[in-house]
Amino acid sequence: MDFRLDRLGTLCIAKPLGWRGPGGNCAIPILMYHSITEEDQAGVRGYYRTATAPHIFTAQMGILKEAGYVTIGLGEAVRRLKESSPDISCSVVITFDDGFRDFYTKAAPVLHEHGFSATVFLPTAYIGDSPCIFKGKDCLTWDEVGELQKQGISFGSHTVNHPKLYGMSFEKITQEVMVSKDTIEQKTGCATESFAYPYAFPEDSSFRKKLRHTLLLAGYKNGVCTTIGRFSAKSDPLFIERLPVNSNDESQFFRSKLQGSYDWVARPQRALKLVRNWMESKRRGEDS
Ligand SMILES: [Zn+2]
């Protein structure tokens, strides 16, 4: 097992002290998966890995089942929090970014076996009539999307081309969020209400405000990003926090994340982004 500061802080400090982020008991964990694969990510630090081995994914779904969790969609999660529903404590949302084909072959059968649903975020340029390659891996086809939809899987937008939206013109951002939404709606015949922000979510309040407006104008009702935490009444429903999961999440760490003991990581994550922003602006100043 790799040494990870976030695991150490979670299991040795936050959990024993009972420290949790916003919401306390009244928050919904939203799990963020990418790829369910045996692929070895040994060269990538544990925190940044996006691959979950099939047997670990199966074990994680078993933990959810055993703990009595029920999977819901993002729209339902928003409703439950708004109404302070008593069902919040057993609710979980499972999300998959990037539309990889291993969702169809490896994740969907396990979800089905456990009676769970999930939301898959599609970068529509990579979803075709035959498998397209994104980040070196096969993506879902529209036929597979249709089949999964019949099994109760929901789909949201992950833009068209999966670009880094931060720094792009809002004209281009509008195209990315609108065209992907239209394409998914045409192919599935269902309204696309959810959006997942690609790459790290920037610490820039004016960008967030403009993006929020753009998403609402395009007709999105909710969305998720890479900010760490659980979904609470303090969250912005367009940029909801998630809990990243990968093969590094053994049962104790996984359970602690669900219970809120990982929420503290949001603070160092934010501080790191602010330092990076500052260094980037300094570098730009020196270049000009
Ligand atoms: Zn992505």
- Please write the tens of the pLDDT for every residue from 13-59: 999 999 988 888 899 999 999 999 998 887 888 888 899 999 999 99
Query: If you measure from the C-alpha of residue 198 to the centroid of ligand 1, how many angstroms do you get, rounded to a whole number?
Result: 5
pTM of the predicted structure, to 2 decimals: 0.94
Query: If you measure from the C-alpha of residue 16 to the centroid of ligand 1, how many angstroms do you get, rounded to a whole number?
Result: 33
Query: If you measure from the C-alpha of residue 217 to the centroid of ligand 1, how many angstroms do you get, rounded to a whole number?
Result: 22
Query: If you measure from the C-alpha of residue 24 to the centroid of ligand 1, how many angstroms do you get, rounded to a whole number?
Result: 28
Query: If you measure from the C-alpha of residue 127 to the centroid of ligand 1, how many angstroms do you get, rounded to a whole number?
Result: 13
Q: Which residue has the tokens 């999300």?
A: 95
Average pLDDT, the chain: 94
Nearest Cα to Cα of residue 181 among 192, 196, 194, 170? 192
Query: If you measure from the C-alpha of residue 18 to the centroid of ligand 1, how many angstroms do you get, rounded to a whole number?
Result: 32
Task: Report the percentage of the chain scoring pLDDT > 70.
Answer: 99
Answer yes or no: is pLDDT of 2 > 80.
no
Nearest Cα to Cα of residue 220 among 74, 91, 117? 74
Query: If you measure from the C-alpha of residue 282 to the centroid of ligand 1, how many angstroms do you get, rounded to a whole number?
Result: 28
- Please write the tens of the pLDDT for every residue from 169-216: 999 999 999 999 999 999 999 999 999 999 999 989 999 999 999 999
Q: What SS3 state is found at 264?
A: helix
Query: If you measure from the C-alpha of residue 136 to the centroid of ligand 1, how many angstroms do you get, rounded to a whole number?
Result: 13
